A and B are shown apart, each in its own frame.
Chain A
Amino acid sequence: MSYILSVLVFFPALAGLLGFIVKKDSIRAYGITVAAIEFVLSLWLWLSFDSSNGGFQFVELIPLIPQFGINYYLGVDGISLFIVILSTFITLIGLISLTIENNLKNLIVSLLFLEMTMVGVFVSLDAVLFYIFWELSLVPMLYIIGYWGSELRIYASIKFFLYTFTGSLIMLVGMLYLAYSYYLATGTISFAITDWHKLILPYDTQIWLFVAFFIGLAIKVPMFPFHTWLPYAHGQAPTIGSVILAAVLLKMGTYGFVRLSLPIFPDASVAAIIPVAILSLIMIIYTAMVAYAQEDIKQVIAYSSISHMGVIVLGTFAMNVEGIAGSIFLMLSHGIVSGALFMLVGNIYDRRHTKLIKEFGGLASVMPKYATIFGIMLMASVGLPLTIGFVGEFLSLLGFYKVSPALTLLAGTSIILGAVYMLRVYKESFFGPLTNEKNKNLTDLNAKELTSLVPLVLVVVWLGVYPKPVLGPIDTSVKSLVELMEKKAITKEAKELFSTNRVELEAK
């Protein structure tokens, strides 16, 4: 099946279109079935994936607008493979856990369209195609936040849309300039990312383009100081919206760094290590502190989400195999863990219609299963060893340790701060006496909720104990990425950095 990627991209969209015809009371079953098929397809992709190959596989290339170098060009490597699987997995889990009844059909169709755009972003190897899916993902998300969200939903959804849209347009100008630079260098115009990987750009050009791409990607991540849309979006979005946003959509930004910024502008990226690291540190520490001050459980998780994204960016900009592979692994684990946490908040919100910490207390005695799963996810979020959260966080920080021990030490506080605010939430809502009368009769997790949460717990533990099947392919592809960057490096600093990296690798 050589067109598996096209099938993966367009199957959910087609299913979404057909979904309009499905009757209202069957739409949930339809949505889950479609998402399950899509998930199985993505697992099949993994099975047929050749882990020893660091390059792109299942490549499809059809000229779309040949005069302008735009192609329908798809492919996956170890870096994108697992993010694709994460997208299909989270969509499936999210659909299972769905509790919204209001206008369900439109919601499920939107989610299926969203799934198309998510998979599309991660398998596109043509910049314009990438951009199409990237922008298109805003539309269903706008609708999901704006229609099913809470009071300030319209403000939040428009803010989300406009922030990302503005950033992406600046990135688009960068893409156009890059295509033009490619034209100047080779005489043909091309938007293929793999072609751009081969292009060696002058240092000044790299810097400008890096900045243009950085703005687009950083808003999506969201890096400090472009992060202000995220707490609103999370705060107002329905559970499913928060889950997808935190688990997958934010990863588009960090994925963009790995796929575009690093290999296309290696020298500019090396030059940007310290500034980006400082922004990431602010992001890590500042948002962790803000998280501590929140009174709403969901906002705590939203801010903790930003804080962890900072670690991912830091790992990416370590520019060595450990750091980049670690940050990609952290993208996966953050996706699973934050998705699960938002789902857990959704469960309690469905019961009590409030998310304020002070409304709860002593929940562990009435909802033991809930408290257990929440506890496991919390540990994973903090980065406890033997959970999925540890592997990525450790590798990212290890990678960056080689660049700057001092900054890594500061970044390491994320683990402590994370423990502080998370444990506070846990202590205040789950332990102690049951103070609030309204909580006395809460029911524990039901079968549907367990079906959606248990797989996540299993993944958290499985990959925490034995990450190799996932880390292996990531490592292989990251190695070829770093080799590519080394080959392209033109400035002295970049060359030095990459050669010390290589010496260490060979010594192992």
Chain B
Amino acid sequence: MMEPIKVSLESLNLITLAPMLIAVAGGLVILCIDLIKENLHKSLYVMLSILFLFIDLGAIIGLDVNERGFFDVMLIDGIAILSQIIIVVASMLFIPLALTSKRFHEFSLPEFFALFLFMIAGFQFMVATDNLILIFVGLETASLALYTLIAMHNREKSFEAAIKYFTMGALAAGFYAMGSMIIYALTGSVELYKIAEVLADRGYEPIWAVLAAVAFMIAAIGFKLSMVPFHTWTPDVYEGASAALAGYMSVVPKIAGFIVAIRFFEFLIHSDVTWVRDILYIAVVVTMTFANIVALVQDDVKRMLAYSSISHAGFVMAAIMIGTTQSNSALFLYWVLFLFTNLGAFTMLWISRHKSTIWHKRFDHPYEKFSGLVHIMPVAATIMAIFMLSLAGVPPFSLFWGKLYVMSSAVNAGYIVLALIMAINSAISAYYYLKLIVYMFMREPIVDSNTVYFKNASLSLKTIVGLSAVATILSVVFISPLMEYITHYVSISGF
């Protein structure tokens, strides 16, 4: 006879769910407002989204570390808190980009903002659990919302991008489900900590089944992180999405993906099964190098940034492969710094965006567009150049410190060759970042009116650019406290 299920409210520990519920509630409130009164201005929705995210942030910071809740599927450890903070802060910084001076279709729809908040809730679920099923639920919630957000951008290219992303995402979801299924068949559990125990107890036998599961998982996570060879959707989707959303996609979904990757690969890397590490090693090196080389030949700045973000993801994935506390902390540091620099770079593209493509028959942001920008808009050109230098890893701009930490953690863990490969990749990447600087600073302008470039600028966009520029230039000031904070949270989560 079955035992009756007894659930006490205390054991549910609903507080762990609060951040996601706030985001979902925010989305519902926005939908309700739209039901009651139509045609409200987008600024209302932007501000409401920021306010809900602010409350969400408060709820995250208030969480106790290392708690479980909701039938033990929620896991609030240090990295869950850290990554949720990054996700929410990044979203708060990206959403004001909707306040452009030109009217872009998607931002006048309240559904955009509702979906945006649902998506954030999905990402939060993904990072705050070690239950394979809940990860899947979070992943799909977020992804489905994101597909729609891309498609809302009312251009033919965007539909193509959304469909491409959707198809690829569906495939990834299939892989994920397949991988989880094999793992469940092997271990009888969907909780990662139990899976780790069971697999360790039986010495990772049968090895072919573990291999199959890991292969499916790498494919699934690889899609989300756009690791080579699962990266093919990335440049096209970035190209089709608006610059604001492309910038968002290059940061937030990836941090959620990284968290899943840390949780999933951590115990495998520290096990005796060395081939997991080898596979990751190869994936990391190939992702970094291949994306870099392809980025060299791009004609469009946005596509270049897309490939560059693939390469950065590979760089950071190396931190997971190294698997020490230092490297995992370096991952978060890198991603925080990358968030600001990439936010700035994509916002600069967004500022100079036109409703129709006037520069090139296909691209919005070909390199030629930026010719001689320094003569037309010296400050903007300088700021853009600083973002590029930061991405290339020129000190003292922010990403240099990220690279320093990641490379240092590689060296300290004995991966000297990997550190050298990283160094050489940084050198290769310098070329395509320099290319933009060369266009901006060393060529003659083709259009000498700054209004052409400033078409889409509004105060909020300029504020965001200013903020990211300050964070990029003065990063050395906050590296130390940031690092302390991150290391604290990473080490109490046991990674």
* A residues neighboring B (CB under 8 Å): 64-68, 106, 128, 131-132, 135-136, 138-139, 142-143, 146-147, 153-154, 157-158, 161-162, 165-166, 169-170, 172-173, 176-177, 179-180, 183
How far apart sit A166 and B438, CA to CA, in the bound complex (Å)? 18
C-alpha spacing A177/B479, complex, angstroms? 21
Determine if B442 and A135 form an interchain contact, defined as CB atoms under 8 angstroms apart: no
Residue of B nearest to A20 (CB): B378
Is B442 touching A153 in the complex (CB atoms < 8 A)? yes
Quick check: is B373 within 8 A (CB to CB) of the other chain? no
Smallest CB–CB gap between A391 and chain B, Å? Answer: 36
Q: Which residues of B contact A128 (CB under 8 A)?
A: 395, 404
Within 8 A of A (CB), among B402-421: 404-405, 407-408, 411-412, 416, 419-420
Chain A binding surface, main DSSP class:
helix
Chain A positions within 8 Å of B483 at CB level? 65, 67-68
A23 to chain B, nearest CB (A): 15
Top 10 closest pairs, chain A to chain B, by CB: A169-B423, A166-B427, A132-B395, A146-B442, A176-B411, A176-B408, A65-B480, A173-B419, A132-B396, A147-B442
Bound: A154/B483 CA distance, A:
39
- Bound CA span A131–B407, Å: 15
A147 touches B441 (CB 8 A): yes
**What's the nearest-Cβ distance from chain B to residue A174, in Å?**
9
Are B430 and A136 touching (Cβ within 8 A)? no
Rounded to whole Å, the gap between the CB of B409 and the closest CB of chain A is 9
**Measured CA separation A183–B438 after assembly (Å):** 41
Contact A158 B394 (CB under 8 A): no
A-chain residues with CB within 8 Å of residue B412 when the two chains form the complex = 180, 183
Q: Would A173 and B420 be within 8 Å (CB), given that A146-B438, A154-B438 are in contact? A: yes
CB-based contact A142/B434 at 8 Å: yes
Q: Which residues of A contact B427 (CB under 8 A)?
A: 162, 165-166, 169
Q: Which residues of A contact B392 (CB under 8 A)?
A: 165
- A71 CB, nearest partner CB in chain B, Å: 11
B420 and A64: CB pair below 8 A?
no
Q: Are B442 and A64 in contact (CB under 8 A)?
A: no
Q: Which listed residue (A64, A138, A147) contacts B480, Cβ 8 A?
A: A64
A146 with B424: in contact, given A158-B434, A165-B430, A173-B411 (CB under 8 Å)? no
Considering only CB atoms, which chain A residue lies closest to B439 in the complex? A154
Checking A136, A176, A177 against B396 with a beta-carbon cut-off of 8 angstroms, the contacting residue is A136
Whether the pair B396, A162 counts as a contact (CB closer than 8 A) is no
Q: Which of A67, A146, A170 sits near B484, CB closer than 8 Å?
A: A67
Q: Which residues of chain A are near B426, meaning CB under 8 Å?
A: 169
Separation of A122 and B434 alpha carbons in the complex (Å): 26
Tell me which residues across on chain B come within 8 A of A138, comparing CB atoms.
Answer: 394
Cα(A255)–Cα(B476), bound, Å: 26
Question: In the complex, what's the smallest C-beta–C-beta distance from B407 to chain A, in angstroms?
Answer: 6
B437's contact among A106, A136, A142, A166, by CB below 8 Å, is which? A142
29 A-B residue contacts at CB 8 Å? A65-B480, A65-B483, A67-B483, A68-B405, A68-B408, A68-B483, A128-B404, A132-B395, A138-B394, A139-B389, A142-B434, A146-B442, A147-B442, A153-B442, A157-B442, A158-B431, A158-B434, A161-B430, A162-B431, A165-B427, A166-B423, A169-B426, A170-B423, A170-B424, A172-B423, A173-B411, A173-B420, A176-B407, A180-B411
- Residues in A whose Cβ lies below 8 Å from that of B431: 158, 162
Q: Mark B468-492, 1 if CB is under 8 A from A, else 0.
A: 0000000010011001100100000
Q: Determine the chain B residues whose CB is within 8 A of the CB of A66 once the complex forms.
A: 480
Q: With A65-B479, A68-B483 in contact, is A177–B416 under 8 Å at CB?
A: yes
Flag if A131 contacts B423 (CB, 8 Å): no
Q: How far is the CA of A177 from the CA of B423 in the complex (A)?
A: 13
* Residues of chain A within 8 A of B434, CB atoms compared: 142, 158, 161-162
- Bound together, the chains give a CA A183 to CA B413 distance in angstroms of 13
Residue of B with least CB distance to A183: B412
Across the interface, name the chain A residue whose C-beta is closest to B423: A169
Q: How far is the CB of B460 from chain A (nearest CB, A)?
A: 26
Looking at the assembled complex, report how far the CB atom of A225 sits from the nearest CB atom of chain B, in whole angstroms.
Answer: 18
Nearest-Cβ distance from residue B483 to partner chain A, whole angstroms: 6
Scoring A64, A142, A165 by chain B CB atoms within 10 A of each residue's CB, the highest score goes to A165
Q: Specify which chain A residues have a CB less than 8 angstroms from the CB of B479 in the assembled complex.
A: 65
Minimum CB–CB distance for A328 against chain B, Å: 26
